[in-house]
Chain A
Amino acid sequence: MKRTKRIGSAALVGALFAASAWVVAQAQSQAQTQVQDAPAGDAGNGKRIYLAVGCFTCHGRSGQGGALTGPAPILASTAMPFDGFKGQIRDPSNDMPAYSDAVLSDKDIGDIYAYVKSLPGARSPKDIPILNN
């Protein structure tokens, strides 16, 4: 007896939605002005936590973004202010899991923030010939 996994019969369709919303979210985050109140996080520890608690599962190890049931925005070199970043983790506005302080301390979030800020963002695709096919 074979089993079927709960992947949703329209997984690719959902991904099309997600990718389009992801583009919008990225544009919005880049348009926001960075505030200066972010804690001085430990990017190395942030990477460890980012991988351990599952951030990478939706946002990618390089912070390139992705999708679950909705968009998982690009986090590499995010321009999102820390307060907004933390607020999204604690009380997300979409289907992102809410991480309470029982599983993720404020310091953890600060370290994760420092890590994703340190990730290289997008380059010009013109520098990569095979992206211009």
Chain B
Amino acid sequence: MSKRRSADSSRRNFLKSAGLAGAAAAMVPPGTANAVPAAPQTRKAAIPGPRQVAAETLAPAADPVNQTSSGGDFMVDVFNSLGIEYLAINCASSYRGLHEAVVNHGNNKPEIITCVHEDIAVHLAQGYAKMSGRPMAMACHGVVGLQHAAMAIYNSWCDRVPVIVLGGNIMEADKRAPGAEWAHSGVDIGQLVREFTKWDDQPASLQHFAESTVRAYKIATTPPMGPVFIALDAELQENPIANSKSLRIPKFEPVTPPQGDSGAIAAAAKMLVEAQNPLIICDRMARTPAGMANLVQLAETLQCGVIDNVGRMNFPSRHPLNQSFRRGLIGQADVILAIEMNDLWGTLTHFSDRIVRQSRPNTKPDAKIITLGVRDLYLKSNYQDFGRWQDVDLDIAGDGEASLPALTEAVKRLIDSSRKDAFSVRGQKLAKLHTAMVEQSKTDATIGWDSSPITTARMCAEVYNQIKDEDWSLVGTAIRLTWPHRLWDFKKPNQWNGVSGGGGVGYNLPASIGAALANKKRGGFTVAFGGDGDFMFNPGALWTAAHHKIPILYVVHNNRAYHQEYMFLVAMAARHGRGVERMDIGTTIKDPNIDYATIARGMGVHGEGPITDPKDLAPALARAVAAVKSGEPAVVDVVTDPR
């Protein structure tokens, strides 16, 4: 990527502006008190310094070469007023003013996280936000850097995760140097990502910047959350502040997430209490650590099954009411409460990927469906991540997590002794089925236990055996790798971090490192699985982990293929009755095989593998776990069966 490297003397001409020349030396430094002008200080007979003497006695310079304030300093104060801890960047000249200000004015606060690709920076912020509950900022070059970042922004959008995206730009055409600055500038650079961000702006003044950034932060963190974009004009970042006394940073006050309407909550409670087989389905329900506890309380009050689509850490995997691997319950339910669902239609429908694509409902014809959530309160048109329309019987607009306590209380008020007894019987039945489900998973996991390539079940069981006594968080998994949720005991709110959202490949490694960055502060142990195909999109993320000493155990599920595509291609060939033995062409990652441990070591990361013999896996994992516990990132390359 070409950057704005060729310094043009005309870039320095901003100080020719009338009124700024000379005055630059006397400009009040902005922002040390949130840019609110400080009370005039009483100066005692201090001896003027040479710069002050020069400023007071010499004629204004025609082409000054120094300045004592910059818009970037004020921007840093705005970010710090919002408590933004980190700024993930791939450095670029279009935001050099901000970059310098973060380092020197902010004393590297927000702390810069150096990334070798913008896609890494955004995904890192996505993983961090889900684990920490707070957004991170990322900055990228105008136009080309934003183009690199776009897919990751789309993943964040589809995942409803807040990320503060900043992109440099040079708004005024007469200030652009010849060459790259023209190619890297735009009239409206936010247009590129407008269809998959919640809001964007291109501030034309510092006050405008402050208000738009605080507004953007508020919009990003208000459910349904999502990424936002702010274009940073280079002149605004770099030039001296002309009007510091008039600048102010707006006060940020987070929005209280909306609860569902009380009448609708009461109606939902009545339907659930009167149901014979109520079922809760959830996806991105838990926003905070309180979310899981709220859902457990509702489920236990109703003694009903819960199917968790695991978009967040919603429900304990070993809870007796967890029926996530018994989807047949959907067809038995007479009332379904769907909370913060991403794809409700897809969850309630059997879809057939045959020559003629067909679908049929999984639900009983007379099943009543209640939805609770905010996802559909903010949608856009072009990209179709909103999914297919689902008929429902009661649609409650309200934040799932915030609404659950009121719903649970409403349910409790309606439960009489006879219902309580019936609920208890139902709960006991579900508990037995849950136990059988877990035992079946363990039994299934034994098949091919000693095989090479190593089965994914064994890989996941071996990893769990190494980390089960740590304060662990699983923050990534390969496509359709469900063994952790079948075998591991997820019971804490921080033990799972969801998936990519948009299915854009390249998410897993950087997002896992972002989650590990959030975990680092509290001393948690971070572990992730990721496919080899995903790994190769953003292997450079490992360097960021090494450089910033972010401990994480990253296990490469190395099936040496873009395996989902391999399967799809076999299906296509079989459909045509031809060439089923040639579908490795273009779908496999072999000849030569990639050595992921060597790649890791090349970037300063502890590397183990490739592990092909299952007997070698436990010792390799133990060494890697020790490295992680000493503060290092570690990669274990496990050569696996496909799924």
Binding site for B on A (CB under 8 A): 1-24, 26, 52-54, 56-58, 60-69, 74, 76, 94-95, 97-100, 102-104, 119-125, 127-128, 130-133
Contact = CB atoms under 8 A, between A and B. Distances in A.
Contact of B643 (A4, A8, A66): A66
Nearest to B119: A2
B82 interface: no
A74 B443 CA distance: 12
B448 A54 contact: no
A74 B502 contact: no
B250 interface: no
A5 B565 contact: yes
Most buried by B among A13, A18, A58: A13
B642 interface: yes
Contacts of A23: 325, 437, 440-441, 444
Contacts of B643: 58, 60, 66-67
A131 B445 contact: yes
Contacts of B150: 2
B503 A95 contact: no
Given A20-B328, A65-B447, A97-B570, 12 more contacts: A7-B479, A12-B481, A54-B570, A61-B451, A64-B448, A66-B642, A67-B643, A95-B353, A97-B575, A102-B578, A130-B465, A133-B461
Contacts of A26: 444
B564 A5 contact: yes
Interface residues of B, number: 84
Give the top 6 A-B pairs by smallest Cβ distance, nearest first. A62-B448, A97-B574, A54-B570, A15-B480, A125-B442, A66-B643
Contacts of A74: 444, 447
Interface in B467-519: 468, 477, 479-482, 485-487, 489, 499, 501-506
B571 A97 contact: yes
A55 B525 CA distance: 38
A133 B468 contact: yes
Interface stretch (B20-28, B93-101, B339-347, B392-400): B339-347
B447 A54 contact: no
Given A57-B567, A102-B578, A125 B443 contact: yes
Contacts, number: 219
Given A9-B503, A20-B326, A54-B583, A60 B346 contact: no
A63 B565 contact: no
Given A60-B455, A64-B455, A131 B487 contact: yes
Contacts of A99: 574, 580
Most buried by A among B503, B537, B578, B579: B503
A97 B566 CA distance: 13
B563 A57 contact: yes
Contacts of B437: 23
A34 B486 CA distance: 30
A19 B456 CA distance: 13
A104 B147 CA distance: 46
Contact of B446 (A14, A21, A67, A128): A128
30 contacts: A1-B147, A2-B119, A2-B537, A3-B505, A5-B503, A7-B505, A9-B502, A11-B479, A12-B310, A12-B499, A16-B482, A20-B326, A22-B444, A23-B437, A52-B581, A54-B580, A57-B563, A57-B570, A60-B455, A60-B642, A61-B451, A68-B568, A76-B448, A97-B570, A98-B574, A102-B578, A122-B443, A124-B446, A131-B445, A131-B446
Interface of A is mostly: loop
Nearest to B579: A103
B68 to A, nearest CB: 42
A121 to B, nearest CB: 7
Interface in B539-585: 562-568, 570-571, 573-575, 577-581, 583
Given A18-B480, A56-B642, A133 B453 contact: no
A58 B442 CA distance: 20
B502 A53 contact: no
B562 A68 contact: no
A128 B583 CA distance: 36
Contacts of A102: 577-578
B324 A16 contact: yes
A132 B442 contact: yes
A8 to B, nearest CB: 6
B457 interface: yes
B280 to A, nearest CB: 15
